[in-house]
Amino acid sequence: MISKTDMELATLLNLDRGTITSWRINRRSPHFAEVLKYEEILVLPFECFITREPNLEEILLHVEKILNHLKDDAKTSISNNDVAKMFEISHNTVSRWKQGLRSPQFNFVMDFEQKLEIPFELFMSSKPDIEAIESKLKGQIKALKKLIKQKEQESLI
């Protein structure tokens, strides 16, 4: 999956190659709802296929941290106002995201998850399905470990 060309990835995601290329060169980033859809299709965190040379070990550690904090009420009960202040954005922007009127850019989602160590989709949902999120994260961890192992075996050849 990691070594897919822009065209191969575009075909898998039913997109045009230019869209993938613009994501990879950081000219444009997809909205959060798109990211969730692509992660579901590819069973990997978005950053694995958006960068040409992802640091799989670093991504794995990040996903494991998020999984560990998934049920931490102190972290998961963050308010819209807290997020607005923390990231210096307007409360209205956060409210629009939660109402589904707008969607944050992927770069913001990555910053959010890095800083708070909880899945952005958990924050976005008024009644999150913790078990579904946990299952998704566990699936990503399994897929990442498999990719890391494949990469290690390839480097021995």
Burial of 2 (0-12, 13-18, 19+ CB in 10 A): middle
Paired residues of 37 in beta bridges: none
* Side-chain half-sphere CA neighbours of 109 within 13 A: 22
The helix-helix angle for 130-156 and 32-42 (nearest 10°) equals: 60
pLDDT at 74: 62
pLDDT digits (tens, 9 = 90+) for 7-39: 999 999 999 999 999 988 878 888 888 888 998
Is a pLDDT exceeding 90 seen at residue 157?
no
The pLDDT > 90 percentage for the chain reads 36
pTM over 0.95: no
Sketch the domain layout of the chain as residue ranges.
6-156
Neighbouring CB atoms inside 10 A of 138's CB total: 13
Tell me how many helices (H) and strands (E) the chain has: 11, 0
- Of 29, 34, 156, residue with least CA distance to 105: 29
User: Which amino acid, 53?
Assistant: E
How far apart are alpha carbons 38 and 13 in whole angstroms? 7
